Amino acid sequence: MDRRVVVTGLGAMTPLGTDVDTIWQRLCRGESGIGPITRFDAAAYPAHIAGEVREFDPAQYLDKHDIRRTDRFCQLAIAAGQEAVNDAGLDIDEGTGHRIGVYIGSAMGGLESLETVHSVLLEKGPRRVSPIFPAMLLGNLASGHVSMRLGATGPNNSSVTACAAGAHSIGEAFHTILRGAADVMIAGGTEATITPLAISAFGNMRALSPQAAAPARVSRPFDRERDGFVMSEGSAVLVLEELQHAKRRGAPIHTELVGYGSASDAHHITAPPPDGAGAAACMAAALQDAGLSPDAVDYVNAHATSTPVGDVSETMAIKSVFKDRAYSMPISATKSMTGHMLGAAGAIESIFTILALRQGILPPTINYEYQDPRCDLDYVPNEARQAALRVAMSNAFGFGGTNASLVFRAFE
């Protein structure tokens, strides 16, 4: 366990842009990536806005043949993975590929392909169903496509843990390197669920905000007027690398990943416990894994989806873990700008946490106007803030009561 893991590459496709630098600049300016749904006519649906990756063009990364044979969630992962590998300056060949793995999670997998093929089945019959449909649907295919394109023949896996999938994939990849099963892991999350079925289902269960006016103001974590999350799509990928391996090849080092925790609420299939016990246990486990006390943490990027119950539960969990320090520790809810990228959320928020550590800038929680007395911490309201950070945590919690927390430390 004397191995250390550093982050050497970052890549992302989000509603705020299609490269990490642009995304970060827009985030720190408090810009929103939320707008009216354009991928289909949503006029009759229970939600009308979403966070679409409007600047993404799959033809920049795949040829026409591959575009037809891959779901959008895979296309987004391929693009983010390529950016991360380029950022890391990582060359993969036959001599190194067996020590490089890929863990990219997704909550819903190829949902868009499922809906399209099901329509073909109903309208044209079973003989017209594409034989490649299973290879477009499965959640692990993002990891598969990225590994094939890059020649990474090491461990290959995918967490399918709802909104914690990206964070779980990063955490499991981190432990894969620690135990010596790989030297480099390409890890993160991806999602493409702005589809009629997803918007209908999540809207009918009242998880999505029904508001349509002023889309940029709808996602409002911790605010008293919050009324549900905004569905978003995107992908985020990190290159994790064993420290000495990174040093030998002169890799850029963004930060160090030092802790990973996972825990279950064992409470309800969609709602967290009011006291946030599962999230608190998860954060405590991450700190234990890092060998750090709660007092060492300078900043938290919260899961904070803008739901009435979830934001209170996470606030309670943070208070449980950090005690009095919770009131002075800054907390950002960046879903106020990106919306909720489901299985990719924990990965993009890990990138935001890393950049906050590197650049000493806390991204804001925008649309914070009315204080909820149950959410009474410092949520970095509406404007970015400079701060010297050494240790930061990122949280991701999902349906089924599954929780993941990651702890990053400024590299020394």
DSSP summary character for residue 254: -
Q: Which residues of the chain, if any, have pLDDT below 70?
A: 1
Percent of the chain scored above 70 by pLDDT? 100
pLDDT of residue 2: 86
Domains and CATH numbers, the chain: 5-255 (3.40.47.10), 259-409 (3.40.47.10)
Tokens of 390: 């050494």
Q: Strand 402-409 vs strand 391-398: parallel, antiparallel, or unpaired? A: antiparallel
Residues 6+ apart with CB under 8 A from 213: none
Give CA–CA dist 54/33, Å, rounded. 9
The amino acid sitting at 206 is R
Give CA–CA dist 308/89, Å, rounded. 43
- 254 catalytic residue (yes or no): no
Give CA–CA dist 228/243, Å, rounded. 41
Give CA–CA dist 55/22, Å, rounded. 11
- Of 145, 168, 254, 340, which residue is the catalytic one? 340
- Of 28, 74, 303, 375, which residue is the catalytic one? 303
Q: Would you say the pTM of this structure is higher than 0.75?
A: yes
Contact (Cβ atoms closer than 8 angstroms) between residue 190 and residue 235: yes
Tokens of 110: 């190829």
Tokens of 350: 């890990």
Give CA–CA dist 278/185, Å, rounded. 28
- Of 74, 163, 282, 375, which residue is the catalytic one? 163
Residues 6+ apart with CB under 8 A from 369: 220, 223, 225
- 375 catalytic residue (yes or no): no
pLDDT of residue 1: 58
pLDDT tens track for 355-388:
999 999 999 999 999 999 999 999 999 999 999 9
- 118 catalytic residue (yes or no): no
The amino acid sitting at 110 is G
